[in-house]
Amino acid sequence: MIPADTAEAQILELVMPLDSRRDVETVSLPEAAGRVLSASVVSPTDFPHWDNSAMDGYAVRYDDIAQASATQPIELAVIEDIPAGQPPQQSVAAGQAARIFTGAMMPPGADTVIMQEETERRGDRVQILATSRPRAFVRERGSYQRAGGRVLSVGSVVTATEVAILAAVQRSQVEVYRQPRIAILSTGNELVAPEDELQPGQIVDSNQYALAALVRQMGAIPVCLGIVPDDPAALKTAISQAIAEADMVLSSGGVSVGDYDYVDQILGDLGATLHIRSVAVKPGKPLTVATIKGASAPQLYFGLPGNPVSALVSFWRFVAPAIRKLSGRGGNWAAPFLLARSRQDLKAGGKRETYLWGQLHTTPSGLEFSLAPGSHSSGNLINLAGTQALAVVPIGATAIAAGSLVRVLWVGAAWPSG
């Protein structure tokens, strides 16, 4: 059995990311959210585009108001109003000021903004009741970014903040990587679809739906190929179809050592190279990782365990990092671990790295992990509901006491609440 960290590193070495020249497409700005940039984005102009006011107030020359105070106010002539979106019409000379609003362009001659709370308006004149520092409340042209400077890097995932930046630099069309296609199939004579009538001894195939949902959450496209019986010929046909239709293949079931576990045999028949056969984790010991020669690059094949919790843990721990790298994302692809304080005692067998599921909570003293109640069995899907993190009991440890810090794998879609 391969240790989990070793397996993850080996898997990431095997992943070939999408090609930044071939595997790209152009989408409109509203369609860009959730996509991965295939090229860096530079600003076509200085940002801000011009000196502008950060406050409602008066644009003045600093030399005119340097000695102003409430007891000795300085009076200036107001020459114009400058609302946001309208360029100034006059220059500010000595003894003058311009009424200015937040975001409005600074008039020539003025170098400082006095906020309106420190002024008193009297007709076409204004009294300055306090001094300020030079350039106060002025957003200077190019202070955020100069023209030609990079504002977003290749490999960035486009979220709401990136959409805002793209809009600000007037990118109505965006170059992104295409979404990887991930084929998913379930193996086993015992499996039936959710819409089928359940007969004695049968099991509903939940893995295909759960894995498809996780693939979608990661911005990839699930290609669901259904249930494949424990028949070598049928399995070979299904895996061959999956290879032809997708960039990565996920199967669940058929990777243990039972009489009906044919996945590894079929992969060998198809000329695949098997890199991993099992990992030292619980749940999820049976894990096949193979590469299959594709048209342009080797494809990665994951044979996940059939037990539903084991399949999900294997995805979170090993498949998700691979999809992150395949998608063209920059930065760290590895599984995201945090430290949290456990609210309960955590127990394990000690022979494998053990994952126990539950929820995270934010507290004034930091993150806390609460263990899901009930059986932590690889076949018990029920108490997985609401899972946000997996607490890790390392190899060699049989218990972690309540109140201790524990390493947790973050798997939630939203950040925990208090």
DSSP assignment string, 217-268? HTT-EEEEEEEE-S-HHHHHHHHHHHHHH-SEEEEES--SSSTT--HHHHHH
- What is the residue extent of each domain of the chain? 4-18+179-326, 27-46+143-177, 52-138, 337-410
Q: List phi, psi (to 5°) of 112.
A: -145, 150
Q: How far apart are CA 55 and CA 57, in angstroms?
A: 6
Q: What is the mean pLDDT of residues 101-113?
A: 98
pLDDT reading at 295 higher than 90: no
Q: How far apart are CA 400 and CA 407, in angstroms?
A: 11
What's residue 265's pLDDT? 87
pLDDT in tens, 324-383: 999 999 989 999 999 999 999 999 999 999 999 999 999 999 999 999 999 999 988 899
What's residue 325's pLDDT? 97
pLDDT in tens, 30-70: 999 999 999 999 999 999 999 999 999 999 999 999 999 99
DSSP assignment of 267-287 equals HHHTTPEEEEEEBSEES--EE
Q: Which helix (H) or strand (E) holds 10?
A: helix 4-14
Q: List phi, psi (to 5°) of 230.
A: -75, 70
Burial label for 333, CB within 10 Å (0-12, 13-18, 19+), is buried
Domains 27-46+143-177 and 337-410 share a fold: no
Q: What is the mean pLDDT of residues 164-183?
A: 96
CATH (residue range 337-410): 2.40.340.10
- Read off the pLDDT band of 107 (50, 70, 90): very high
Any idea what DSSP says for residue 17? P
CATH (residue range 4-18+179-326): 3.40.980.10
pLDDT in tens, 296-328: 677 999 999 999 999 999 999 999 999 999 999
**Identity of the residue numbered 416:** P
Q: What is the mean pLDDT of residues 17-28?
A: 95
Percent of the chain with pLDDT over 90: 89
What's residue 150's pLDDT? 96
What's residue 113's pLDDT? 98
Taking CA atoms, 230 is separated from 91, 110, 227, 254, 260, in Å, by 83, 80, 10, 8, 6
CATH (residue range 27-46+143-177): 3.90.105.10
What's residue 379's pLDDT? 86
pLDDT reading at 122 higher than 90: yes
Sequence-ordered list of residues with C-beta below 8 angstroms from that of 93, at least 6 positions apart, any chain: 61, 109
Place of tokens 């999809």: 323
CATH (residue range 52-138): 2.170.190.11
**Nearest residue to 175 (alpha-carbon basis) of 159, 160, 154, 161:** 154
Q: What is the mean pLDDT of residues 393-407?
A: 97
What's residue 298's pLDDT? 78
pLDDT reading at 80 higher than 70: yes
Q: Which helix (H) or strand (E) holds 26?
A: strand 24-28
pLDDT in tens, 248-268: 999 998 776 555 568 888 898
* Range 203-223 burial, b when 16+ CB lie within 10 A, else e: bbbbbbbbbbebbeebbbebb
